Amino acid sequence: MTDTPLLKVSGVSKFYGSRIGCKDVSFELWPGEVLAIVGESGSGKTTLLNCLSTRLMPTTGSVEYRMRDGNFRDLYHMSEAERRFLMRTDWGFVHQNPADGLRMTVSAGANVGERLMAVGDRHYGKIRETASDWLTRVEIGTDRIDDQPRAFSGGMRQRLQIARNLVTGPRLVFMDEPTGGLDVSVQARLLDLVRGLVNDLGLSAIVVTHDLAVARLLSHRMMVMKDGHVIEHGLTDRVLDDPREPYTQLLVSSILQV
Amino acid sequence: MTDLATYNFAYLDEQTKRMIRRAILKAIAIPGYQVPFASREMPMPYGWGTGGVQVTAAIIGPQDVLKVIDQGADDTTNAVSIRAFFQKVANVAVTTHTKDATIIQTRHRIPEHKLAEDQILVYQVPIPEPLRFLEPRETETRKMHALEEYGLMHVKLYEDIARNGRISKTYAYPVKVAGRYVMDPSPTPKFDNPKMHRSEALQLFGAGREKRIYAVPPHTDVVSLDFEDYPFEIQTFDKPCALCGAENVYLDEVVLDDKGSRMFVCSDTDNCEDRREHGHVGAMLAPAKEAAE
């Protein structure tokens, strides 16, 4: 890790009319770091994630990102063209429902290759080679390269979505409940895979989840949200083993034990 | 209909023509960009060339000579009706000879005879948006055009190669105009795409139902999209035209009976007739000619 952060978030608030989406959130994210945002449904996790990933304009506050040239740019002062270019090259976004992040009617190979073609790759053979390489890395057989995602199982779709996002070598990946809707054994494999990829590629990631086990496995640091406010913030192991806020204590103690 | 109050040259009223001309000028200024315009009801159903007819009506003058083709042919229903329409509402001269025409309205073909700089080719366009079946949201496709995000177009071509081993799109093959906008050249066969590249003639595209006009000015680069290892190719035909023996032209397949026999003839009927007048004879016409002599 270097001593300059990758993402600087200061005072981000989002109001839906008089209701609060998220309020006065500030933090910094360093390269190679995985940050988990946890909290119950309706606590503003996804609103915050959308504000950070330029999918939703925050009411106030600024989000600054360190570009590849080392300069910080305020995301909401960039042109839309620059923002969209950033989103499909330097960033990734993994949706909870793979159908939102994939093109369900084109083949797996084309799904992975889309970003490459979007940045100007025009050699079919090379695109296909890269695509099959990435399918192998996410444990999808290369014989499935010409199949459409609708022929895939939920776990495969999610892994395909991850491959599609990582193919351009992004530095920052946003994940919205990446394991939601998957059964437990598939979840475990997916988490294992994501953890391996994040380590290998030195990615930074912001993971939104209501599942504390996911946070424990993937993240270095975590933020606990309640009613739009960040109520506790610290190293994952510290927050989970020694929760300070009453709400966090409640959250940790309500994990089901088998 | 001699009453002045009920007659206006070329069917449309002058205000409408001005509106369409403004759209055309904007389209010429931004090659390949789809300009919205207030498309009018025309006395024919959508899908019959209402866009092309409006563009033609807006640019035609009393001195113009009009040619109308449908799939390259001058004698099919669509071509005959539109030609008759302009004869009636504008009393202009009409022709079937490509080189005599000043305005050629077309559906699906570019004439084989090379067009000159004093000619205008007007296309009837059913679907102007090349990204339509890839991205259903019109708001999104417009944004993609504005930001020049055309990766999706190549995803479509990738899919073609992955499934069929080659780019199987044979008509409405996407092109990039003047290095900027990706454009749907209307359902012309890709055989005609190279003719659009640096054409001397002005090319105007009118989509009536979709309310869009776009244009390719003369001498503008029109490049068909492809991959480095799967370059753009046009259709080739094994045999020459059965009637006039022409090679390197676009041929239509005509089924002759229910026993599988067929012939391939020029799609451009004017070109075919012209060649036959000049003594070119194809394989199927030769025996008939000998019998006559």
Question: Chain A within 8 Å of B231 (Cβ-Cβ)?
Answer: no
How do residues A193-242 score in pLDDT, each as one tens digit? 989 988 888 899 999 998 898 899 899 999 999 999 999 999 999 999 99
How do residues A238-257 score in pLDDT, each as one tens digit? 999 999 999 999 989 888 77
Yes or no, beta carbons of B158 and A117 under 8 Å apart? yes
Mean pLDDT of chain B: 92
Considering B72, B206, B208, B272, which one is annotated as catalytic? B272
pLDDT at residue number B6: 75
Out of A2-6, A98-102, A254-258, give the one with best mean pLDDT: A98-102
How do residues B15-48 score in pLDDT, each as one tens digit? 999 999 999 999 999 999 999 999 999 999 988 8
Dist. CA A238–CA A16, nearest whole Å: 33
Angle, CA of A99, A103 and A108, to the nearest 5° = 105
Mean pLDDT of chain A: 92
Mutate to test the interface with A, among B145, B148, B149, B159 (most CBs of A within 10 A): B159
For B227, the closest of A80, A107, A122 (CB atoms) is A122
Yes or no, beta carbons of B151 and A109 under 8 Å apart? no
Yes or no, beta carbons of A103 and B155 under 8 Å apart? yes
* B140, B277: one domain: no
Answer yes or no: B260 catalytic: no
Domain boundary (B171, B204, B224) is at: B224
Question: Chain A within 8 Å of B278 (Cβ-Cβ)?
Answer: no
**Residue A125 pLDDT greater than 90, yes or no:** yes
Burial of A17 (0-12, 13-18, 19+ CB in 10 A): exposed
**Residue B2 pLDDT greater than 90, yes or no:** no
pLDDT > 90 in chain B, percent: 86
* B190, B240: one domain: no
Mutate to test the interface with B, among A79, A104, A117, A130 (most CBs of B within 10 A): A117
- Measure CA B11 to chain center: 22
Q: What residue has token string 């390197």?
A: B248
Yes or no, beta carbons of A146 and B162 under 8 Å apart? yes
For B230, the closest of A109, A114, A124 (CB atoms) is A124
**Do the domain assignments include residue B4?**
no
pLDDT at residue number A184: 85
* B133, B241: one domain: no
Answer yes or no: B32 catalytic: yes
How do residues B180-198 score in pLDDT, each as one tens digit? 999 999 899 999 999 999 9
pLDDT > 70 in chain A, percent: 99
**Residue A189 pLDDT greater than 90, yes or no:** no
Yes or no, beta carbons of A118 and B151 under 8 Å apart? yes
* B244, B100: one domain: no
Considering B49, B72, B241, B245, which one is annotated as catalytic? B241
pLDDT band at B283 (very low <50, low <70, confident <90, very high): confident
DSSP letter at B11 equals: S
Yes or no, beta carbons of A122 and B228 under 8 Å apart? yes
Range of the domain at B150: 14-224
Size of interface A-B (CB pairs under 8 A): 55
Question: Chain B within 8 Å of A150 (Cβ-Cβ)?
Answer: no
* B157, B281: one domain: no
pLDDT band at B4 (very low <50, low <70, confident <90, very high): low
Considering B49, B244, B245, B282, which one is annotated as catalytic? B244
* Segment B105-110 mean pLDDT: 93
**Do the domain assignments include residue B61?**
yes
Domain boundary (B194, B224, B254) is at: B224
**Do the domain assignments include residue B230?**
no
Dist. CA A6–CA A32, nearest whole Å: 9
Mutate to test the interface with A, among B143, B150, B158 (most CBs of A within 10 A): B158
Chain B residue whose CA is closest to A122: B227
pLDDT at residue number B7: 82
ipTM attached to this prediction: 0.85
**Do the domain assignments include residue B9?**
no
How far is A81 from chain B, CA to nearest CA, in Å? 6
**Residue B173 pLDDT greater than 90, yes or no:** yes
Question: Chain A within 8 Å of B219 (Cβ-Cβ)?
Answer: no
**Do the domain assignments include residue B292?**
no
Yes or no, beta carbons of A114 and B228 under 8 Å apart? no
**Do the domain assignments include residue B183?**
yes
**Residue A161 pLDDT greater than 80, yes or no:** yes
The pTM is what? 0.87
* B62, B87: one domain: yes
- The per-residue b/e assignment along B142-165, b for 16 or more CB within 10 angstroms, e otherwise, is eebbeeebbbbbbbbbbbbbbeee
pLDDT at residue number A1: 47
Q: Which residue has the higher pLDDT, B4 or B139?
A: B139
**Do the domain assignments include residue B57?**
yes
**Do the domain assignments include residue B259?**
yes
Query: DSSP alpha helices (H): ranges in chain A?
Result: 45-52, 80-89, 98-101, 108-118, 124-137, 154-166, 184-201, 212-218, 236-241, 246-253
The CATH number for B213's domain is 3.40.50.11310
* Segment B86-103 mean pLDDT: 95
- Report whether B39 contacts B208 (CB < 8 A): yes
Question: Chain A within 8 Å of B3 (Cβ-Cβ)?
Answer: no
* Segment A67-71 mean pLDDT: 90
**Residue B293 pLDDT greater than 90, yes or no:** no
* B112, B170: one domain: yes
Yes or no, beta carbons of A106 and B147 under 8 Å apart? no
* B250, B165: one domain: no
* B198, B78: one domain: yes
CB atoms within 10 A of CB B223: 15
* B189, B72: one domain: yes
Shortest CA distance to A244 belongs to which of A256, A227, A258, A230? A230
How many domains does chain B divide into?
A: 2
Domain boundary (B177, B200, B224) is at: B224
* Segment B139-148 mean pLDDT: 93
* B46, B175: one domain: yes
* B164, B103: one domain: yes
pLDDT at residue number A40: 87
**Residue B64 pLDDT greater than 50, yes or no:** yes
